Amino acid sequence: MTADDYFAIQNLIYRYCDRIDRADFAGVAQLFEHAQIHVPALSVPVQGVAAIEAMYAQFTRVYPQTGTPRTKHVTSNVIIEPAGESAARSQSYILVHQATEALPLQPIIGGRYFDRFAKVHGVWRFTERRMEMELFGNLSAHLLQQFGP
């Protein structure tokens, strides 16, 4: 794996954070066009652009004043490893911060992402994301459905 491959994969991981924080659920779904997403709250993985976009819209509260969920997803401790000639996997930490008019700035959820990638027509793409959430704060201002312990 070249440095260019590493940075392309890293940018995919970070691009997810940017899109979800802007409530660009269609853009998030495009990132996972070739992937399955395993979400702890769901018994089966979500797959397909339309299904992934609908899942994010169904779960995420968007504030009309900003058109966003008023969150900042911070991904860190990214470890990317080759998994064959045109495949890779990664593990990273995720910590989501949120502030609303009623909620001061605070971390609301933390955990890890386990991702798999493949080169599709020469471009790195997600093929799988497994979300493992371990730390839970006040999610009432973020999620539209119950999630967590």
Q: Enter the pTM of the model.
A: 0.92
pLDDT given for residue 145 in this prediction: 73
pLDDT given for residue 84 in this prediction: 87
- Please tell me the class of the 3-136 domain: alpha beta
pLDDT given for residue 44 in this prediction: 94
The SS3 of residue 3 is: helix
Position 146 confidence tier, pLDDT thresholds 50, 70, 90: low
Render pLDDT for 76-127 as a digit per residue (tens, 0 to 9).
999 999 998 899 999 999 999 999 999 999 999 999 999 999 998 999 999 9
Interacting residues of 25 by C-beta distance below 8 A, sequence separation 6+: 19, 53, 56, 57, 60
pLDDT given for residue 92 in this prediction: 98
Residue percentage of the chain with pLDDT more than 90: 90
CA 42, chain centre distance (Å): 15
3-state DSSP percent of the chain in helix, strand and coil, to 5: 25, 40, 35
Q: Which of 55, 50, 17, 45 is nearest to 33 (CA)?
A: 50
pLDDT given for residue 147 in this prediction: 53
Q: Which of 135, 131, 130 is nearest to 149 (CA)?
A: 135
The SS3 of residue 34 is: coil
pLDDT given for residue 42 in this prediction: 87
Tell whether the model's pLDDT for residue 149 goes beyond 60: no
Render pLDDT for 18-38 as a digit per residue (tens, 0 to 9).
999 999 999 999 999 999 999
SS (H, E, C) 40-94: CCCCCCEECHHHHHHHHHHHECCECCCCECCEEEEEEEEEEEECCCCEEEEEEEE
The domain locations on the chain are: 3-136
